[in-house]
Amino acid sequence: MTKLDIDAVHAFVLVADLQSFTRAGEAMDSTQSAVSLKIRRLEQGLGRRLLERTPRRVRLSADGEAFLGSARALVDAHRRAVDAFDAPRRRLVIGISHHLVGAELPLLLRRMKESERGVVVEMRVSTSRAVFEDFERGAVDVAVVLRHDHRRLDGEVMFTEPFGWMAAPDFLHRSGTALPLATQAEPCSVRRMAVAALDAAGLAWTEAFVGGGMLTIAAAAAAGLGVAALARRVAPPGLVDVGPRLGLPALPSREVVMLSSVSDAQARGTLRALAAALRGTVEPRRVGMPVA
């Protein structure tokens, strides 16, 4: 009977979800080479190739697809067994900018849930400014925000987020008229960034829709109400960058920074999983959004 190394099975599940040996290594507080070795030994033990590796991506083989469900169940059963003695539960409050979460949110939450079962995650989604202020006064343990200025230079830089002028593919704008914007109400740093770029280019603009978060702004853009300054990575499918077609000024990129006040092992494990999952959403095929 084949004996399975639970760490190797866990590594396989992480690579399947994050599509990256490097990100799986981060989540496990290990290295890419160590994860690769675990999975190679798992494949040898099973006598099956679970992953197809190419220079640009990792994907499941047919055998990997068949094994994934059972692998998840095994990892989950192992965690339940470890937690059988009711270890104290740790509440971790995470604040994150609404401009940074999109369709990948279920993956982020699953990765945090699976990393440390003794941690209860409370997630607060708001503007970068509000999240940063909450962190400063101790209302959240962790802040994941866009860095719009250099007032505070500490924190871990996760990646750089490019922005675009996102709209419906059939969005029309008559030359010489004010550009309709779908935007957040003041104070919003992304709104200010977009308005500053238009003003510097001498382009007139007008509010067409004022939303209460990225999802409402994106919905307004998809409905054709206006153009929205959105991070390309999390812009909903169907929106395109109309900036080049309309002659709009390029929007600056912003660093995504994680600030943390946690020091315990449980919370750090959850943060490693969150960081790896967030970085895993930055893929070459998603950085370049379609251009109208």
- DSSP character string of the chain: -----HHHHHHHHHHHHHS-HHHHHHHTTS-HHHHHHHHHHHHHHHTS--EEE-SS-EEE-HHHHHHHHHHHHHHHHHHHHHGGG-PPPEEEEEEEEGGG-STTHHHHHHHHHHH-TTEEEEEEEE-HHHHHHHHHTTS-SEEEEEE-SSS---SEEEEEE-EEEEE-TT----TTSPEEEEEEPSS-HHHHHHHHHHHHTT--EEEEEEESSHHHHHHHHHTTS-BEEEETTTSPTT-EE-HHHHTPPPPPPEEEEEEE---SHHHHHHHHHHHHHHHHT--HHHHS--B-
| 46-70 confidence digits (pLDDT tens) | 888 888 877 667 888 888 888 888 8
Mean pLDDT of 158-183: 91
| pLDDT tops 60 at residue 212 | yes
By the 8 A CB rule, do 209 and 217 touch? yes
| pLDDT tops 80 at residue 117 | no
Mean pLDDT comparison of 25-39, 45-59, 224-238, 276-290, highest-scoring range = 224-238
State the distance between the two ends of the chain, measured CA to CA, in whole angstroms: 57
Mean pLDDT of 8-19: 84
Mean pLDDT of 150-162: 80
Whether the pTM exceeds 0.75: the reply is no
The dihedral over CA atoms of 182, 258, 150, 163, expressed in degrees to the nearest 10, equals -30
Domains and CATH numbers, the chain: 6-85 (1.10.10.10), 90-161+254-287 (3.40.190.10), 163-246 (3.40.190.10)
